[in-house]
Amino acid sequence: MFESSAKVCLITGGTSGIGAAAALEIARTGAAVVIVGRKVRKCIQQVNKIKREVPAAHVDYLTADLSSQQQVRRLASEFAVRYSRLDILINNAGAYFGKREVSVDGLEMNFALNHMAYFLLTTLLLDRIKKSNSGRIVVVSSGAHVNGTIHFNDLQMGKNYTLESAYARSKFANVLFMYALARRLEGTRVTVNALHPGIVATNLGSNNSWLRTKMRNLLKREMLSPQEGAKTVVFLAVSPEAEGVSGKYFYECKAIPSSKESYIEVNQERLWQVSERLTGSIH
């Protein structure tokens, strides 16, 4: 039975990798955990896995393809029907695409899934988060953001697309989004922070070519486990040490500087305005 006094955590990409590991650890704290995945079967498997580890856990799931703004909106609505408030929102779902693909909304897929889904889901649920006594928003970015740039005249990368540049740009957008949101949350009880989880052995990139996937599998021995990669996510979500901390970029549970370019406020605000426009056309 869900206790209304327990914290409620919504985590995207919660069926595998960092998201699954974080969901389990947060469930151990007594919070109600709602995982988001694309496939019902994988969601049910993960819910059952958490309940085997934490029999008393309240674990729920919702499904959505987060590259679709319509499905993000449906997800937010379904969550709001089930839960009157949200204490912890973890934007974790992500992927990268070896060739340029376009979402159902006409957006380049790295940008659609890795940034626009974060932006839209967060803004749709912000009223729910503000009902919390201590709301926390966690944005899973990447150290790859240091190589990211945003050319607003070619936001969808119709020219000179490469996997590396598109992924880095989407992770750079995560950090810009975090800083812009932190300003908007000043004076509220809600905090937002971004993080680099480290180089983690997950299924990220498994949708790409067999050679790239094979190379990644060979390198997994040098990577962190999902449990190690989830440590900073869990720290920002539930640790008392992170209480009241906002507008920071973290690595290994410590605040560190993000890229120099990510602090340019005019770009943070321009991305916010563009994101509002790109989501405002979907009703």
Question: For the segment 46-65, what is each residue's pLDDT rounded down to a tens digit?
Answer: 999 999 999 999 999 999 99
Asked if 48 and 25 count as a contact pair (C-beta separation under 8 A), the reply is no
Residue with the bigger pLDDT between 206 and 184: it is: 184
Residue 186 pLDDT > 80: yes
Residue 36, exposed/middle/buried by CB under 10 A (0-12, 13-18, 19+)? buried
- Nearest residue to 162 (alpha-carbon basis) of 116, 203, 208, 206: 208
Q: Sign of the CA dihedral 71, 31, 3, 15?
A: positive
Average pLDDT of the segment spanning 9-31: 96
Residue with the bigger pLDDT between 272 and 213: it is: 272
Boundaries of every domain in the chain: 8-280
Residue 233 pLDDT > 60: yes
Question: For the segment 202-229, what is each residue's pLDDT rounded down to a tens digit?
Answer: 544 444 454 455 444 544 455 678 788 8
- Nearest residue to 109 (alpha-carbon basis) of 145, 67, 71: 67
Give the whole-number percent of the chain exceeding pLDDT 70. Answer: 89
Q: CA-to-CA distance for 271 and 277, rounded, in angstroms?
A: 10
Residue with the bigger pLDDT between 221 and 66: it is: 66
- At residue 119, the pLDDT reads 98
Residue 282 pLDDT > 50: no
Q: With bands split at pLDDT 50, 70 and 90, how would you rate the model's confidence at 165?
A: very high
pTM: 0.91
Residue 11 pLDDT > 90: yes
Is residue 167 among the annotated active site residues? yes
Q: With bands split at pLDDT 50, 70 and 90, how would you rate the model's confidence at 131?
A: very high
Residue 116 pLDDT > 60: yes
Assign a CATH topology to domain 8-280.
Rossmann fold (3.40.50)
Q: CA-to-CA distance for 138 and 73, rounded, in angstroms?
A: 19
Mode of pairing for the β-strands spanning 88-91 and 8-12:
parallel
Q: Mean pLDDT in the chain?
A: 91
CB environment 171-197: b (16+ within 10 A), e (fewer): bbbbbbbbbbbbeebeeeebbbbbbbb
- At residue 227, the pLDDT reads 83
Residue 281 pLDDT > 80: no
Residue 148, exposed/middle/buried by CB under 10 A (0-12, 13-18, 19+)? buried
Q: Sign of the CA dihedral 47, 48, 53, 56?
A: positive
Lookup result for tokens 């009223």: 127
Residue with the bigger pLDDT between 108 and 221: it is: 108
- At residue 199, the pLDDT reads 77
Give the whole-number percent of the chain exceeding pLDDT 90. Answer: 82
61, 167, 179, 249: the catalytic one is 167
Average pLDDT of the segment spanning 72-84: 97
Residue 240 CA to its chain's centroid (Å) = 21
